[in-house]
Amino acid sequence: MKLSNHSLRQLDTTYLDGLDEEALRLLSAKLLEDLKEARERLNQNSRNSSRPPSSEAPWVGPDDEPISVYDKADGKTVNEVEEDRTSGKEEVPSENADSSCPPEKPEQEVRRAGKVEGAQGYGRKAPERIDLIEAHAPDSCACCDLSLSARKMVAYTGHYEVDWIRTDRGDWQTHHIKHLWHETLCECGHLTRAEPPRRMEDAVEVGGFRLIGSGMSTLIVALSLRYRLSRARIREFLSEWQGVWLSVGAIHNVIEEAGLAVVPVEAELIEAQKQGVRSCNHAFSLKSTGSSLAITHLA
């Protein structure tokens, strides 16, 4: 998506009337690209994407096998039952019918979603030390693409990240990094925010405000795949030897994201392996024919 939800909420007719023709064309191109991407996501299902069939509505069936729901009592379809009801042919239960139905339960009070007021809260404490502070500011306006390097920036949010970094001495140390995300007001009146890249791949969110850095992710993947440690053992190792507490779910998400990140690398390695096999076969064929080019090719 070119425009974030924060940027999209600021767009109205008053703002569009204040843009010049060039800026309006740039904004229209971004809106068109976002609209196409949103339509593609909206039309995704289990047959044209990686979404599982359980994510679809229960009344949605395969294209070649339409669902036909029957009434369990008399074998009528839902449409036939609806026609009888609208035409006045709906069956009225007789007086001799069994009336031992349980009474209707009183409606329960609707509770507000979230933590109950007064209940104990749980959360992660801020680290005792901060080794590095990284500031992130937008380079250009999200709507008119004007440069924002000389504009005033204000931090609107931030998050902490734990990483495993190699120092200048050659050893490895755990660093706690504080990321600050800034917003900048453009001359056109649009407030642009710097946000981390975020996308969904195979129902896994990649990017965003992540707690674990790239170096710590590499260590977790090595412990899992190279040394065959379980998620619980990895959590125990990081807690006792690195002083870092991570949940099993966070460790599992790191391994999933790392697998998605190396998919292009895997494809390149497979293609390079295929090219190497073709080169070897080609050299072998030239050598078998006694051509002098085989010596140059093999060298």
Q: What is the pTM of this model?
A: 0.61
- For residues 228 and 41, the model is more confident at 228
Per-residue pLDDT at 147: 92
Token pair of 108, please? 């329960």
Residue 273 has pLDDT above 50, yes or no: yes
User: How far apart are alpha carbons 142 and 224 in whole angstroms?
Assistant: 40
CA 235, 240, 241 angle in degrees (round to 5)? Answer: 100
Mean predicted confidence (pLDDT) in 110-120: 76
117-161 confidence digits (pLDDT tens): 788 877 778 888 899 999 999 999 999 999 998 899 999 999 999
160-187 confidence digits (pLDDT tens) = 999 999 888 888 999 999 999 999 999 9
Predicted confidence at residue 139, as pLDDT, reads 93
- Residue by residue, DSSP assigns 62-82 as -TTS----B-TTT--BHHHHH
pLDDT of the residue at 222: 94
3-state secondary structure of 139: coil
3-state secondary structure of 156: strand
As a whole number of angstroms, the distance between CA 201 and CA 257 comes to: 9
Tokens of residue 136, six digits:
């992130």
> pLDDT at residue 264 above 90?
no
Confidence category of residue 190, pLDDT binned at 50, 70, 90: very high
